[in-house]
Each structure stands twice: as structure tokens, then as C-alpha cells.
Amino acid sequence: MKYLHHVWDHLRKDLRLEWRSRDSINGMLFFSLLVVVVFGLAFDPTSYPTMARQISGGILWVALLFASITALNQSWTREQRNNVLEAQRMAPSPASALFLGKALANMLFVLAVEAVLAPIFIVFFNLHALGNVWLLAVILPLGTWALVVNGTFFAALGLRARNRELLLPLLLLPISLPALLAMVQATTGVLTADLDPIQINTWIKQLLGYDIIFTTVCILLFETVLNAE
């Protein structure tokens, strides 16, 4: 319970900072909406509804991936102001609590963007899901966590790098490829109903396994990353 209290303290701090500035959410929302609008104008989904369902899953996750990168770097930049990160190193709370609080806050920010983006995405691409829509309530959080947990870790890893804005996508994109494949396939399978429930469940299980493995690795290695010189 004490550990969860530390996680909650870090999460609450990040939520308060974002509520006051709204820098991360505004940046992610602007970028993701720009991607949706550009693809919506370049491609007429009403003329090719089948093709629209086939490509919409990839477009959605690409928009969320690149939008989240803009917020992940910024979340750790806040910790460097006024030597807050140095104070976090000396704090008696576990370093993994800081990581989990930061990752959960970033996930909530991305989920908030998804909540705004989803109806706009449906309108622009004229989407009518042919599969079990409720599965998206499982795929979206699992996929979002896969992006956020690795992104939060690699953003912290690149804090001392000179070109940390460039380092994060270089590290995150290759590591996230298995998760991106599972996200896109599962989402497209729900939208098009081309995959049977067993195949969709297989992709979801792979995504869940990816989340468990990389969450465990990031938690175990974060203290080393935080205290590295």
C-alpha cells in the first residue's frame, strides 16, 4: 500500500502540472487531428468504404504514435526544471514508483486524446465497424500502454543526450514494431471483420504479453537509468 501511495503521489503531481499547462495534450491533439484531416482530405472514404476500413487502423495508430512522442520527451523535461530530478534521486521512495506514476500519467493523456480523436476519426473516414466493437475497448488501452511504457523509459534514458528529441523515436520505433503490428492487425480485424474472433484474440494476447514483458523490464532497469551519470 505504501508503494501504491508513492505511485499515486507521482501520478497526481503530473496530472496537476498538465491541468495547469495543458502542453502535452494540446500538442498531441493538434498533431493527431492534423494527420486525420490530411488523410481524410487526400482519400475519399465514401467512394471506397472497404479500403477505408483496411487502412484506418494503421492511420489511427501512426497518428497516436507520433503524437505521443511529442509528449513523452516533454514529461521528463519538466523534471529537470529547478533540479526536481535530482531531488527525486535522493527521495526515499522507489525509483520504479516514479516511473509507473509518469507512465500512467502519460497513458491518461494519450487516452484523453483518443477519446476526442475517435468520433472525429469515425466521421472523416465514414467508419462502420463490422466486427465486435467492444474489443476496441481492450485493444486501445493495451496498445496505448505498449507505446507509453517504452516511450517513458526511453525518454528518461535519453535525458542526458544532446539530441534527445531525435533519440526517442530512433529507440522507440524499432522496439514498438511487434506491438504496432498487433495493434494494427487487431484494430483492422475489428473494423473489417476479415479476421475471426480467434485470430483477433491471438493478436490481443500477443499485445498483452508484450505489455507484461516490457513493463517488467522497464521497472527493473529504471533505477539504473535514473541514477546513471
| Predicted TM-score (pTM) of this structure | 0.87
Domains contained in the chain, number: 1
d(CA 138, CA 141): 6
Q: Are 189 and 131 in contact (CB under 8 A)?
A: yes
DSSP state of 194: -
Which residue range(s) make up the domain with 198? 1-227
Would you say the C-alpha torsion 193, 181, 156, 212 has a positive or negative sign? positive
DSSP state of 161: S
From first to last of the 229 residues of the chain, give the pLDDT tens digit.
788 888 888 888 888 888 887 778 888 888 888 888 887 777 766 666 667 777 778 888 888 888 888 788 777 777 777 676 777 777 777 888 888 989 999 999 999 888 888 888 777 777 776 667 788 889 999 999 999 999 999 888 877 767 777 788 888 889 999 999 999 888 888 877 777 788 888 999 999 999 999 999 999 998 888 776 5
Count how many Cα atoms sit within 13 Å of the Cα of residue 43 in the half-sphere of its side chain.
20
45 phi/psi in degrees, rounded to 5? -70, -20
List the grid coordinates of 23: 502542453
